[in-house]
A and B are shown apart, each in its own frame.
Chain A
Amino acid sequence: DGGITQSPKYLFRKEGQNVTLSCEQNLNHDAMYWYRQDPGQGLRLIYYSQIVNDFQKGDIAEGYSVSREKKESFPLTVTSAQKNPTAFYLCASSIGTVPQAFFGQGTRLTVV
């Protein structure tokens, strides 16, 4: 089955620790995105990547880092510099030629 997979679904970390969220797609899509969603709010763009080895900051990139070493993978690291990391994180991909994205099921990160 083609799709976009995020893991894990739930993640707990202690304050001050870095944590990496996984996002893998087998849709052969060029563009990939990371969003953050807080309760009752819309999605906010953290980072996006249009091609391998290239990525740009979104609206709320502070405290996050990404890499795009392979077309299929776009991991997100939530660093200790992120002041309020507890949130629902969503990864998406798009083919790039039409503005339509496919989303993963999300990772709910809780920092205690």
Chain B
Amino acid sequence: LAKTTQPISMDSYEGQEVNITCSHNNIATNDYITWYQQFPSQGPRFIIQGYKTKVTNEVASLFIPADRKSSTLSLPRVSLSDTAVYYCLVGNSGSARQLTFGSGTQLTVLP
């Protein structure tokens, strides 16, 4: 399983763009990169998933360089309600153990 490394915490202010980077040096060819968001006392919620280049949805963008050894979750114009823990996962559907969570990044949005 590819191990991921993320910053433990980040602070931002309302209205700013936030970029959270995840390192996954031993990502496998068939691995996807998936990001989840978790609020206190709730289950994680899927945000975005990608394989290469750039993926964008209504919530975030995911940037993946050509070597795929890292990825960056971009949250545009954050609000106080974006304060949460963000997890980066790397894996594929070939094994149910794909869903291995690290410690995540605690994002705190300040007014």
The answer on a CB contact under 8 Å between B43 and A98 is no
CA distance A50 to B99 in the complex (A): 12
Q: How many A-B pairs fall under 8 Å by CB? A: 65
- Using A96-B93, A103-B44 as known contacts, say yes or no to A45 and B102 having CB atoms under 8 A apart: no
The answer on a CB contact under 8 Å between A90 and B43 is yes
CA distance A45 to B78 in the complex (A): 30
Cβ-neighbour of B46 out of A33, A48, A58, A100 (below 8 A): A100
The answer on a CB contact under 8 Å between B93 and A108 is no
CA distance A33 to B89 in the complex (A): 15
> Size of chain A's interface in residues, with CB distance under 8 A?
29
Interface flag for A97 (CB, 8 Å)? yes
Cβ-neighbour of B99 out of A49, A101, A105 (below 8 A): A101
> Size of chain B's interface in residues, with CB distance under 8 A?
23
CA distance A33 to B44 in the complex (A): 13
A97 nearest in chain B by CB position: B93
The answer on a CB contact under 8 Å between A99 and B46 is no
Q: Mark B32-44, 1 if CB is under 8 A from A, else 0.
A: 1010000001111
- CB under 8 Å from chain A, chain B span 81-111: 87, 89, 91-93, 96-104
CA distance A96 to B34 in the complex (A): 14
B residues with a Cβ closer than 8 A to A are 32, 34, 41-46, 49, 87, 89, 91-93, 96-104
Q: State the 3 A-B residue pairs at the shortest beta-carbon distance, nearest first.
A: A103-B43, A43-B101, A42-B103
List 9 A–B pairs whose Cβ atoms lie within 8 Å, in order of A's numbering: A33-B96, A41-B103, A44-B101, A56-B96, A56-B97, A92-B99, A96-B93, A96-B96, A102-B46
